[in-house]
A and B are shown apart, each in its own frame.
Chain A
Amino acid sequence: MSPAAKAGAALPGLIDRRTPRWRAWLLLLPMVTWLVLFVVAPTAILLVYSFCERDEVGRVLFTFTLDNYRRVFDPVYLWIFARSIYYAGLTTVICIVAGYPVAYCIGRAREEWRQRLLLLVMVPFWTSFLIRTYAWITILKQEGLLNGFLRLFSPGTAGLDLLYTPTAVVIGLVYAYLPFMILPIYGSVEKLDGALIEAAYDLGAGPLRVFSSVIIPLTLPGVAAGTLLVFVPAVGMFAITDLMGGARVPLIGNVIQNQFMQARDWPFGAALGAVFMGLFAATYWVMLRLGAQEEDSVA
């Protein structure tokens, strides 16, 4: 018997080297099942389809081709990719600017108020996403609430032509994703130690410099998490661009949806999706590496 095994025998009840591996795997089984069902399998299907062809009626033929990927890099689609990233980026920036003050105020509010205020941020989720988007349509349309309100103050004006414009798309995106920015920022603001703010004041920093050199850096993890939660889904969003942009400003999500629904070109849709996913994975990996490097340089 090896010394390790002897030590194990002396300590019954502890998991030691003699515990069969299958028991460890058994404990992991629920998680592995979940991952296989909801992450590995769909991704695998997507990847396999992206190398296939389709026949005239849209059935997937299991051959091997790189044509789908070649088409993805057609300037038409690259342009849509760029536009999607631009809109999602704009949405993210507006969400940060609009969401940070809200998150900060809630996070620094008296404790008994925090939960109630957070609840208000969540209230929109109690209504269907589609209904809320339609509500925006009734606000923004030519004869809608917003223009009616404007005419109250200056009768005779033509009103704003907002609906089915890029502006409407951005409004819709910001509205849909703002809570996903507020919640993680709130999380880091709430954890912020008030003594740090006082220490900064004590060391001669005025309110602006306290904000820029202490509060911002310490809540940056929340902003980063919020950015991921807003930017990634906003790039792929198709419902809002359809409803509020009137399909006049197609983003990558609309194109992918079209390949699966109208165009019935699943392999090409899958290739678009795969490139899209690869792009995010790469960005995420780079961000992680940068973060890790910064930690290393200190250690």
Chain B
Amino acid sequence: MNPMVDLRGVTKRFGAFTAVNDVTLPIASGEFLTLLGPSGCGKTTLLRLMAGFDTPTEGSVWIGGEDVTHRPPYRRPVNQVFQSYALFPHLTVMENVGFGLRMQRVGAAEAAERVHEALALVSLTGLDARRPHQLSGGQRQRVALARALVCRPKVLLLDEPLSALDAKLRRSMQLELKRLQRQLGITFVFVTHDQEEALTMSDRIAIVNAGRIEQLGTAHEIYHRPATRFAADFVGQANLLEARLLLQDADTVQVSVTGGLELSLPLAAWPAGATTALLAMRPEKVHVSRARAPADFPAAATNIFEARIEEEIFQGATDHLVLVTAAGTRLAVVVANESAYGEIFHAGDRVFCALHADDLVVVRAE
């Protein structure tokens, strides 16, 4: 199937600065895709290239199977929700939402009906005659969303639309956006620097860094199989370990990581012919217990080693530990406080750790 949005070899330069560097990104119809990256990484520029506010220096932008590279924003079948909402202060809620329909010269009766439909869709009724300055942040957010949706775009672009809301409202809006997207079946392209937001809502996430896409994949893929050091570090927490090859047999390799800890991992995961590599390991993948090989260690855990708890930070649902292995490798580990009667860890305790070989991921170091 043809992608709904297709960036083909797109580069955007502003003077000597390259904001987007040779990005190719096909986005499927009906997909919720998130562009995730730190500020200044080029994610907003990517969105502006799709909206038509910027024109690529090289490459082309395709939407709905048409080349729209040089088409102005008002002739593209996309609508945007702006970070600042950009509601027209001189117009009422009703007029703001109806603006796009007025520009398309939709008849007054049909327009009124569609505006009310859109406002109902975002659960905002009874405020038709208000002006933006008379609304709360959350209400403005909904007006901005309704204003974009009422035009029935093929693609909805969202530029950090939740960043101005408080944490609680943000959580509920995340779920509501996801619900809306499923209900309407519209392609959503969502820009954010908040990894939790990206994980919550997206079908796929594109990790953007320094004008390039570092990794494109589902939330699971990105989290469990980060491709680069940046992706591993930016999404969630990761222990990054420099590994040196010790020995290799039929299906496993033995490596020594920073500090001296020796680990084994599947041969298939190791880059062919390499003597060193960078490993990423999520803090919650390490199982910790005072007893050697207790029942709750996964049977397949191939790496078992001893460590001392250097630091323990209780966080309610989880315990954050800093471990130092016998060999001297430091690891950040998170253990779930599953039961009040389970093991309680203290700084200074000696513990055994189990780690599944598949939870060690080789990432590109660049």
Q: Which residues of A contact B (CB under 8 A)?
A: 193, 195-196, 198-206, 209, 213-214, 217-218, 298-299
Asked if B88 and A196 make an inter-chain contact with CB atoms under 8 angstroms apart, the answer reads yes
Closest beta carbon of chain A to B35's beta carbon, Å: 18
A199 vs B79: C-alpha distance when bound (angstroms) = 9
Provide 7 A-B residue pairs closer than 8 Å at the C-beta atoms, listed in order of the A residue.
A196-B88, A198-B80, A199-B86, A204-B104, A205-B74, A209-B103, A218-B90
Binding site for A on B (CB under 8 A): 51-53, 72-74, 78-80, 82-84, 86-90, 92, 99-100, 102-104, 129-131, 134, 147-148, 151
Alpha-carbon distance A213/B88, docked complex (angstroms): 10
* CA–CA, A202 and B75, complex, Å: 8
**Minimum CB–CB distance for A76 against chain B, Å:** 44
Q: Evaluate contact between B73 and A198: CB separation under 8 angstroms.
A: yes
Q: For the complex formed, measure the closest distance between the CB of A218 and the CB atoms of chain B, giving whole angstroms.
A: 6
Q: A200-B103, A203-B99 are in contact. List 17 more A-B contacts (CB 8 A).
A: A196-B86, A198-B73, A198-B82, A199-B86, A201-B52, A201-B73, A202-B51, A202-B73, A203-B148, A204-B104, A213-B102, A214-B88, A218-B88, A218-B90, A298-B129, A298-B134, A299-B134
Q: Are A199 and B82 in contact (CB under 8 A)?
A: yes
Chain B residues, CB < 8 A from A206: 72, 74
A142 to chain B, nearest CB (A): 50
A199 to B92, CA, bound (A): 15
**Identity of the chain B residue whose Cβ is nearest the Cβ of A199 in the assembled complex:** B86
Q: Given A204-B151, A205-B74, A299-B134, decide whether A199 and B103 contact each other with a Cβ distance below 8 A.
A: no
Residues of A within 8 A of B100 (CB): 203-204
Cα of A290 to Cα of B52 in the assembled complex, Å: 40
Q: How many Å lie between the Cα of A204 and that of B102 in the bound state?
A: 9
Q: Say yes or no: B103 contacts A298, CB within 8 Å.
A: no
Separation of A258 and B155 alpha carbons in the complex (Å): 71
Closest to A295 in B: B131
Q: Which A-chain residue is minimally distant from B144 (CB atoms)?
A: A199
Contacts of A196 in B (CB 8 A): 86, 88-89
Which one, B52, B84, B130, B131, contacts A195 given CB within 8 A?
Answer: B84
The reply to whether B51 and A203 contact each other, CB–CB distance below 8 Å, is no
Q: How many A-B residue pairs have CB under 8 A?
A: 68
Q: Which residue of A lies closest to B92 (CB)?
A: A298
| Shortest Cβ distance from residue A196 to the other chain B in the assembled complex, whole angstroms | 5
How far is it, in angstroms, between the C-alpha of A185 and the C-alpha of B79 when the chains are bound?
30
Do A204 and B74 have beta carbons less than 8 Å apart?
yes
Q: A218-B89, A218-B90 are in contact. Are A298 and B80 (CB under 8 A)?
A: no
Q: Which residue of chain A has its CB nearest to the CB of B102?
A: A213
A298 to nearest B CB, angstroms?
5
Q: Which B residues touch A201, using CB under 8 A? A: 52-53, 72-74
Best-buried of A195, A199, A200, A214 by chain B (most CB within 10 Å): A199
A-B CB proximity, top 5 nearest: A203-B100, A204-B103, A195-B86, A199-B86, A201-B73
CB distance from A109 to the nearest CB of B (A): 17
A193 in contact with B84 (CB, 8 Å): yes
State whether A298 touches B73 (Cβ < 8 A): no
Q: How far in angstroms is the closest Cβ of chain A from B107?
A: 15
A199: chain B residues within 8 A (beta carbon): 80, 82, 86-88
Contact residue among A203, A209, A214, A298 (Cβ-Cβ distance under 8 Å from B131)? A298
**Residues on the A chain within 8 Å of B74, using CB:** 201-206
Q: How far is the CB of A102 from chain B (nearest CB, A)?
A: 23
* Least distance between B210 CB and chain A CB atoms (Å): 25
Given contacts A202-B79, A203-B99, A209-B103, A298 and B86 within 8 Å (CB-CB): no
Complex contacts, A204 vs chain B, CB 8 Å:
74, 100, 103-104, 151
CB-CB under 8 A from B103, the residues of chain A are: 200, 203-205, 209
Asked whether A203 lies within 8 Å of B82 as measured between CB atoms, the reply is no
Closest chain B residue, CB of each to CB of A297 = B129
Cα–Cα, bound, A183→B59 (Å)? 43
Chain B residues closer than 8 Å to A193, beta-carbon distance: 84, 86
Q: How far is the CA of A298 from the CA of B133 in the complex (A)?
A: 11
In angstroms, Cα B129 to Cα A203, docked, is 20
| With A198-B73, A298-B130, A299-B134 as contacts: A203 and B147 at CB distance below 8 Å | yes
Report the bound CA distance from A206 to B92 in whole Å.
Answer: 21
Tell me, rounded to whole Å, the shortest Cβ–Cβ distance linking A69 to chain B: 42
Q: How far is the CB of B216 from chain A (nearest CB, A)?
A: 26
- B45 nearest CB across to chain A (Å): 14
- Complex CA gap A209/B72 in Å reads 14
Give the shortest distance, in Å, between A160 (CB) and chain B (any CB): 44
Q: How far is the CA of A247 from the CA of B134 in the complex (A)?
A: 54
Q: Indicate if the CB atoms of B90 and A198 lie closer than 8 Å.
A: no
User: Which residue of chain B has its CB nearest to the CB of A218?
Assistant: B90
Of B90, B92, B148, chain A has the most CB atoms within 10 Å of the CB of B90
CA distance A209 to B53 in the complex (A): 17
Name the contact of B99 in the complex, choosing from A195, A198, A200, A218 (C-beta under 8 A). Answer: A200
Instruction: List the A side residues contacting B134 at CB < 8 Å.
Output: 298-299
Chain A contacts for B151, CB-based, 8 A: 203-204
* Contact of A198 (CB < 8 Å), options: B78, B86, B130, B147: B86
B-chain residues with CB within 8 Å of residue A213 when the two chains form the complex: 99, 102
Which A residues are CB-close (under 8 A) to B82? Answer: 195, 198-199
**Bound-complex Cα distance A205 to B72 (A):** 10
CB distance from B139 to the nearest CB of A (A): 15
Residues of A within 8 A of B80 (CB): 198-199, 202
B84 touches A203 (CB 8 A): no
The distance from the CB of B341 to the nearest CB of chain A, in whole angstroms, is 54
Q: For residue B79, which residues in chain A have a CB less than 8 angstroms away from its CB?
A: 202-203
Q: List, in ascending order, chain B residues with CB within 8 A of A198's CB.
A: 51, 53, 73, 80, 82, 86
B78: A residues at CB distance < 8 A: 202
Chain A positions within 8 Å of B51 at CB level: 198, 202
What is the chain A residue whose CB lies nearest that of B78? A202
Q: How far is the CA of A204 from the CA of B104 in the complex (A)?
A: 7
Nearest-neighbor residue (CB-CB) of B83 within chain A? A195
